Structure 1
Amino acid sequence: MNAKDIRKDFPILDQQVNGNDLIYFDTSATSQTPSPVIDAMTAYYEAYNSNVHRGVHTLGTKATDGYEQARMKVRSFINAKRFEEVVFTRGTTAAINLVARSFGDMVIEPGDEIVVTEMEHHANIVPWQELAKRTQAELKFIPMEADGTLTMENVEATIGEKTKIVAITHVSNVLGTINDIKAIAEVAHRNDAYIAVDGAQAVPHMSVDVQDLDVDFYAFSGHKMLGPTGIGVLYGRSELLDDMEPIEYGGDMIDFVDLRTSTWTDLPVKFEAGTPMIAEAIGLAAAIDYIEDIGPEAILEYEQELVNYALERMRSVEGIEIYGPESRAGLITFNLSDVHPHDLATALDSEGVAVRAGHHCAQPLMKWLGVSSTARASFYIYNTTEEIDSFIESLKRTKEFFSYEF
């Protein structure tokens, strides 16, 4: 894989920020979008912009075909058994909320346990907190090791006969921890529990096979995998989705409406009320094509090269503290002594380097780490070792500036 050639497909990267070439190290928040994705969405708006499913005219048929072909593309990409198991949502957050509100309300009873971890994004904690409050269930947390990993011993000890749902991230957006979802799913199912996975940080960076992982639900977002904002995917086993009630009503999800009662249409449209994200689905399909052309295995291998190189270089910076395990996904969360993360991010931005600073929507994890906030550099297929070298020099200059006694 040649990152320098790939960069040519990303027009946004060919610019200067504050007089310096842009170095974009914030993919974990939102990836950049290649020209083929932009072109696919533009073609929809220029050539066949129309609503889906309802119309029989030519533009409506073309729009419907594009939208449903996108669903089939997602089905193949994650190896779902049926296209009915792919529900388009506004993003990972909406997908998790759908599971918690519909499925959770259906299966959780007082005294049941919902198991999560302290490394979760807020989107995979708050919906379960609210479910526990509604149902008088107990929220339990799998203990983490000092490096931010999970042991199967702790997984086995936490998931028990009272556990009904295990909600866990595939890849931590802060630590880069890659959880063994297949093994955790086996423990959950052995205890007659269901497993729901936040895959937002995994799907863009590695091959994900939901059947092999044996998960019940899996959620991810388009904007973290070269696609547009405003669209995500909920994978769910068809037998579970069949039993679930929708949480939004109106539009295409209706089968029959009487004055006082209504019935719902079949999966997956039952969960897609209103006009769906048509252009966004088409853009997501183009993003999948782009990723598959490169190959998920090649992407993972290249990211591992980048993150290992960055870890080695960053450790040369005096006063740096790096969080998370040695073996990790392509991101590094860190702090620089005596420099607040927001000051650090501002200083780096002045040299054209974009990193994320704050609590990364993971305040419980920040508390576990003993900090209020951190900085994070995250890498993808369009980043290079040369950019990492420039980033390191910017870090050193920032450290020197804030250490200077005026």
Structure 2
Amino acid sequence: MKENKRKEIFPFFKNNPNATYLDSSLTTIIPKVVIDEMSNFYQFYLPTIERSNNILTEKSKELFLLSLLKIAQFINAKTINEIIPTSGTTNSLNLLSISLLDDLKEGDEIILGEFEHASNYLPWLVLAKKKKLKIRHYKVNNDLKIDYEDLKKIKNSRTKLISVSYIFNSIGTINDIKKIKKIVGKDVLVVVDAAQAVGHIKIDVKDLDCDFLAFGGHKMFGPNGIGIIYGKENLLKNLKLSNYGGGMFEYYNLEKFDYRKLPNKFYAGTPNITGIIGLAKAIEFINQIGIEKIRNHCENLKFLLEEKISKLEDILILNPKIRSSILLFRKKNIHSEDINYELQQHNIFARNGFYCVNNDNKLLNTKEQSIRISFQYYNNEDDVLKLVETLKNGGDFLDGLFNTKKNKKCA
């Protein structure tokens, strides 16, 4: 599809024709086909399953199961038994930390990164405090990539779990999950936060050999309020439950409680059927374009922007030469919140802050917030040039008078 035609398949741009949206790491714009799929489901189907044995619920169940199958195939899971619907990536990671509570004991160790998104740090930190676990941090080299040799050193016999982003949401580095699994070995659980990866790079859970993987729909052209936990089937069979209710039990009384087989043991209450159907349609949309085409398109725009703004005065690029859809930069003596305000006056929507990463300022050797530009399929070279011209000509406003500390914001 021609670049100038891409935005036509997204109703948001039809209704906001002057918007230059450069914040897809926060959330993606939803294409019309996904909106229509969800709307049609509400209009022609009953949005529940297995609560009444009639033809209406059976039709909905069929669509639900077919959608789960599409999701499983998208990440190359073995069966839908390895796919557990949640409300998003954050919910997935929290559920995992709660469910693994009884599998860890005092003195066990967890490996994390200091600059992981809060959603992939705080659940494990809370777990560590409850169980008196030790958290170790792997190092990151000056090229903003994980120091795998350091990871080998800190992994030991007490290490039980490592949780890591496939792509860092702030700097855009793609981490080698397969290599991490080989380093820590089969006895250490590898949990992957794939929120930023799922809409940009091909994910093959069999090849990665990760134990659990979490992602959400709203960063991959899908609806918000829907997410997925992938888990190896043998692990999910034994995983402790965190939710209980109708739909997940075989039988219970005061003496006995038996839950259903996978994946139904995790279906306490009515799942977000419409969200699953919308997510499956978003996957179909991605597959029709091609995930590699999306990746190359976004990375090319990132490198084009990097080339253009590196020539501007007082611009500091914080993640140079990183193959990614994300570019991070600052302007000398100007607070990023002021830059972001100026961009919005030109209908350019980006992101400023620390992006829910508490220690990114240490990693990037700066105590200042930054501007994050993140691309998706609907962006084009015109978006890049508009941003560059605005930065170039915005000097009258961006005078640095308000270069003070601002409150952190999450994204």
Asked whether 1:5 is paired with 2:1, we answer no
Asked whether 1:248 is paired with 2:243, we answer yes
User: Which stretch shifts more, 337-346 or 196-205?
Assistant: 337-346
Asked whether 1:186 is paired with 2:182, we answer yes
C-alpha contact 2:339 2:398 (8 A) present in aligned 1: no
Distance 1:404 1:126 in 2: 34
1:357-396 residue CA offsets vs partner (Å, 9 max, x unmatched): 1221111223433325221110000000111000111112
Report deviation, 1:139.
0.5
Counterpart selection for 1:98 from 82, 95, 99: 95
1:298-330 residue CA offsets vs partner (Å, 9 max, x unmatched): 111111211111111121221112222522320
Counterpart selection for 2:391 from 378, 391, 395: 395
Q: Quote the residue 2:33 is aligned against.
A: 36
CA separation of 1:261 and 1:336: change in aligned 2, threshold 3 A: farther
Distance 2:331 2:255 in 1: 62
Asked whether 1:364 is paired with 2:380, we answer no
Distance 1:293 1:132 in 2: 43
Report deviation, 1:269.
2.3
Distance 2:44 2:355 in 1: 39
CA separation of 1:270 and 1:49: change in aligned 2, threshold 3 A: same
Report deviation, 1:3.
3.0
Report deviation, 1:261.
4.5
Asked whether 1:205 is paired with 2:196, we answer no
Q: Quote the residue 1:21 is aligned against.
A: 18
C-alpha contact 1:199 1:220 (8 A) present in aligned 2: yes
Distance 1:217 1:76 in 2: 16
Question: Between the two proteins, what is the percent identity of the paired residues?
Answer: 34
SS at match of 2:398: helix
Asked whether 1:282 is paired with 2:277, we answer yes
Distance 1:151 1:326 in 2: 18
SS at match of 2:213: strand
Query: Which residue identity is paired with 2:50?
Result: H
Report deviation, 1:146.
2.1
Distance 2:356 2:301 in 1: 25
Name structure 1 gaps, 5 residues minimum. none
TM-align CA RMSD: 1.6
Report deviation, 1:243.
0.6
SS at match of 1:21: coil
1:33-91 residue CA offsets vs partner (Å, 9 max, x unmatched): 00000000000110003311222222211211111111100110000012100001000
Q: Quote the residue 2:70 is aligned against.
A: 73
Distance 2:177 2:358 in 1: 23
SS at match of 1:335: strand
1:232-272 residue CA offsets vs partner (Å, 9 max, x unmatched): 11100011111111111112222223246532212122223
SS at match of 2:175: coil
Report deviation, 1:398.
2.7
C-alpha contact 1:336 1:399 (8 A) present in aligned 2: no
Name structure 2 gaps, 5 residues minimum. 402-411
CA separation of 1:219 and 1:36: change in aligned 2, threshold 3 A: same
Q: How many residues align?
A: 400
Report deviation, 1:147.
3.1
Report deviation, 1:173.
0.5
Q: Quote the residue 2:264 is aligned against.
A: 269
Asked whether 1:132 is paired with 2:135, we answer no
SS at match of 1:251: coil
Matches for 1:210-225 after TM superposition, within 5 Å: 210-225=205-220
